[in-house]
Structure 1
Amino acid sequence: MIRKSIGLLAGMLVTVAVYAAGAQLRADHPDTYTVRKGDTLWAISARFLSKPWLWPEIWQANPQVQNPHLIYPGDVLNLSFANGPRLGLQPRVRAEGDAVPAIPLDQLQTFLKEMRVLKSEDVENLPYVVGFEEADLRGTVGRNVYVRNLQSTPGERFAIVRPTQTFRDFDSKKGRDGGSDLVAHPLDSNVSLVRTPWKEDFRADGHYGHGEDIGTEVMVIGTAEVLRTGDPTTMLLLNSTMEISKGDRLLPIDDKPYDAYYYPHAPKSLPGNARVIAFADAYDAVGPHQVVALNIGAQDGVDNGQTYSIYQPGETIPDDVASNSWNRGTGKEVTLPQEFVGHVMVFRTFDRVSYGLIMDGLRPVHKHDKLELPE
């Protein structure tokens, strides 16, 4: 009798699991789909699923495929319902380097390749631009720049970077499980005014002081080649996305700064106080296919492809009915429910900070919007 009950329970659990996975399929899902050039995993997932981050729940690659998360143009995906909905793969001959990415990489090259988060003390100790050919005020392509504290050899190339914002935790005593109060502070673009602007105290989001230094974001703005060694070193500016200024730093060129191939998936848990803290390409608000910085990173278990729901915190307003009707606005208050904004998928992760792409949205995303586990 006990064995029969256990067998019945197991069968019920399998049935529920199959039903749950099947319920996430789009009503108009195709039975087969041929992968095309320009596709992304998110877009392919959305063809089959109402919630693309559930991709791992139905994805099942062929055993002969070396990396089961890589899909290539020309591959055929087949949806079957044996033991629950599953996607199988009919692979074609593989061509190196043309696998389908998770997100539209061509729209994100700047943020994928040219944004890094370093320890603030490491940024302070980097070699820096001290002057320009013929006393120019700014560095321009094809002319010499002079750099101090650079250990190099002639012909060696370096990336020129500019500190763009600093990250600090003003409530680190809580511990990571209790949630951090991480703040992003934009830095003055004129880095020559202050030798270490990321060291200054600042007032932001109700905080003033130094807090715990988490790191400094730097942006690659050019490439230079060593002509003559020494201190200062003479370098030729090969390219730049903006004028080079005194105080800009130098870093080794990173040929493989990120993993381009991962898949959308739900996080296993939600770090405390997870939220949006900065924008990479906007000031007040962002929408779909724009980049945001999040106050969670690898130390919180975050990895590329994790998808979160974004919610705008509910506003606190006066409850005029519960208050004295003759003295409105001075009595009781009520906090409105948080409102769903959209979804964000992480595409690059550092220790305490990560960058995500807004995948969809019902309204603009603002700083301090909260992250929740997706449904």
Structure 2
Amino acid sequence: MLKQLRTVAAVALLTVTTYAVAVEANGTHPETYVVKKGDTLWDIAARFLKKPWLWPEIWQANPQVQNPHLIYPGDVLSLAYLDRVTPQGQVEPGPRQDAPINAVPLSAVEPFLKNLNIVDGFKELPYVVSLEDSRLRASAGQQAYVRGLPDTQPGQRYMVVRPTVRYGQPKPSDDLDARGDATRFSGNLWKSYVASSDRSELLGYELAQVNLGSVTHVAAGEAGVATLLLEDSGREVRAGDRLVPVQAQPYDLQFIPHAPNTTLADGDIRVLAVTDTFTSGGPRDVIAISAGARDGIDNGTVFSIWRSGRHVNDQVAGMASSRADDALKHGAGRVAMPDEYAAHAMVFRTFDKVSYALVMEGTKPARVGYKLKHPDAQ
């Protein structure tokens, strides 16, 4: 599930297109820059642009770079366009001894493109009812017994998936047990989370792939228990895991960073979860956010992440108190503080009501409950 997966994907997996935008230089800059090992497109842009999410402008000004996926350590990029001077030189090739800086193996992003999915429901899916030798867990080479596959045939392959998280609002997420029900009291972590709207809505269930298997036998009779031979030694299967047919999934690896296509109300989109951590994450961490295709969000959408301004007690003009007062809501004697910028994030996979985004860079951790704004928000 999202909390158990962490991407080490460099932001350089992105593909660019040429489009005109107004950019501002971030202070002084050289006329050229030599690409170094470990660079990413975002990092290079952050050195020279006030808005690093506009890094495609660099490649627009270097038309000699025919394929951004083939920029190597040692390549020389022209930055003269920042002074609106037409570049005179050509991109100088590097030694080509290292891998391209933005050639990201599929395995680096595979967990989020292949192994995770967000669905509206799962209770109707076939499920593992027991395991070989009445085991509590099973892995490759062992058998799982499945109910709900009456029409399957020997040889048919399935993914074994596990419902792990329920996303919703105003409470962002609940951990799920083996039955797929919310774990009791798991929502207590989010008791200080307050959404801007009063709506209460299920956003979806996260299904994480835990194994693969092939049907070897289907029992006759009303129960219709099918035998599934497990193939993957990665994660163990348990009773209650669900099954979905194995299907080829096309992966979108071409992301063009851009501002949201639609205007969204302030605070309507929130951070629902952070991968591998409890409540917060930083650059190269993946977050789940409470917006998706229905909200006009698509791959490449860039947001800025903000801590909601608190409402504090004015100790001078208001009532004196020794009690810390850092509330999320208005109240008598409280003064509203401004929102605080935390980071930028870019969406790389979108579902109907939920999306996964990669935290690019920031000045402080991005936390569950933080709100998302336009990338240029001040």
- Alignment partner, residue 130 of structure 1: 129
What amino acid is aligned across from residue 55 of structure 1 in structure 2? W
Q: What is the alpha-carbon distance in structure 2 between the residues aligned to residue 128 and residue 53 of structure 1?
A: 43
Q: Indicate the percent of aligned positions where both proteins have the same amino acid.
A: 38
Partner residue in 2 for 1:6: none
Matched, 1:338 2:327: no
State the secondary structure of the residue aligned to 1:239.
coil
Match of 2:281, SS state, is coil
Q: 2:209 matched to which residue of 1?
A: 220
Letter in 2 for 1:241: G
Identify if the C-alpha distance between structure 1 residues 321 and 69 changes in structure 2 by more than 3 Å, giving closer, same or farther.
farther
Secondary structure at 2:269 match in 1: coil
Match of 1:363 in 2: 364
Distance 1:290 1:336 in 2: 28
Deviation at 1:141, TM superposition (A): 1.9
CA distance in 2, matches of 1:132, 1:82: 63
Aligned equivalent of 2:296, options 298, 301, 304: 301
Q: Structure with the greater relative contact order (CA < 8 A, sep ≥ 6): 1 or 2?
A: 2
Cα drift, residue 45 of structure 1: 4.0
Q: Structure 2: how far apart are the matches of 1:53 and 1:326?
A: 44
**2:144 matched residue in structure 1:** 145
Return the match for 1:187 from 158, 176, 192. Answer: 176
1:72 is aligned, of 46, 70, 81, to 70
2:167 aligned residue: 167
Give TM-score scaled by structure 2 length. Answer: 0.72
Q: Do the aligned residues in 2 keep the contact of 1:116 with 1:219 (CA within 8 Å)?
A: yes
User: In the alignment, what sits opposite 1:55?
Assistant: 55
Aligned residue for 2:42?
42
User: How far off is 1:147 after superposition?
Assistant: 1.3
User: Which residue identity does 1:297 align to in structure 2?
Assistant: G
Of 197, 200, 207 in structure 1, the residue corresponding to residue 181 of structure 2 is: 197
CA contact (8 A) 1:35 1:73 kept: no
Q: Provide Cα deviations, 1:242-275, integer angstroms capped at 9, x if missing partner.
A: 3211110112234435311213222244423111
Query: Which runs of 5 or more residues in structure 1 are unaligned?
Result: 1-16, 93-97, 170-180
Aligned partners of 2:32 and 2:76 also within 8 Å: no
- 1:259 paired with 2:252, answer yes
For residues 140 and 149 of structure 1, do their structure 2 counterparts lie closer, same or farther at Cα, with a shift above 3 Å needed?
Answer: same
Shift in Å at residue 340 of structure 1?
1.0
Structure 1 residues 349 and 107 mapped into 2: Cα distance closer, same or farther (>3 Å)? same
Any conservation in 2 of the 1:60–1:86 contact (CA below 8 Å)?
A: no
1:176-208 deviation digits (Å, cap 9, x = unpaired): xxxxx47322212xx1xx3x416999966559x
- Looking at structure 2, the residues matched to 114 and 132 of structure 1 have their Cα atoms a distance apart, in angstroms, of 22
Q: Which amino acid aligns with 1:332?
A: G
Displacement of 1:102 in angstroms is 8.9
Is residue 307 of structure 2 the alignment partner of residue 312 of structure 1?
yes
- TM-score normalized with structure 1 length: 0.73
DSSP-derived class of the 1:311 partner = strand
1:345 and 1:358 in contact (8 A); partners too: yes
Of 226, 238, 249, which residue of structure 2 is paired with 1:245? 238
The 3-state SS of whatever aligns with 2:111 is helix
Distance, in Å, in 1 between the alignment partners of 2:364 and 2:322 is 35
Given residue 360 of structure 2, which amino acid in structure 1 is its aligned partner? M
Structure 1 residue 229 displacement after superposition: 3.4
Counterpart for residue 352 of structure 1: 353
Q: Which amino acid aligns with 1:256?
A: Q
Contact 1:102 1:263 in 2 (8 A): no
Q: CA deviation at 1:326?
A: 9.1
**CA deviation digits over 1:48-75, x for unaligned, max 9?**
534221134454399999xx88532458
Kept in 1, the 8 Å contact 2:175–2:183? The answer is no
Per-residue CA deviation, residues 201-260 of structure 1 (Å, 9 max, x unaligned), is 9966559xx943332111011111222234211111111433211110112234435311
Counterpart for residue 12 of structure 1: none
Structure 2 unpaired stretches of 5+ = 1-19, 94-98, 194-198, 326-330
Counterparts in 2 of 1:85 and 1:284: CA distance versus 1, 3 Å = farther
Please report the RMSD computed on the Cα atoms of aligned residues, expressed in angstroms: 3.9
Deviation at 1:374, TM superposition (A): 1.5
Letter of the 1:142 partner, please give it: G
Q: Does 1:280 align with 2:281?
A: no
The 5 Å alignment of 1:74-113 reads 78-79=78-79, 81=81, 84=84, 106-113=107-114
Which residue pairs with 1:8 in the alignment? none
Counterpart position of 1:9: none
Question: CA contact under 8 A between 2:175 and 2:186: conserved in structure 1?
Answer: no
1:162 is displaced (CA, Å) by 0.3
Change in Cα spacing, 1:336 to 1:215, as seen in structure 2 (3 Å) is same
The AA in structure 2 aligned to 1:321 is: V
CA distance in 2, matches of 1:338, 1:265: 23
Q: How many residues align?
A: 329
**Partner residue in 2 for 1:27:** 28
Moved more, 363-372 or 316-325: 316-325
Partner of 2:13: none
Distance (Å, rounded) in 1 between the aligned partners of 2:321 and 2:212: 68
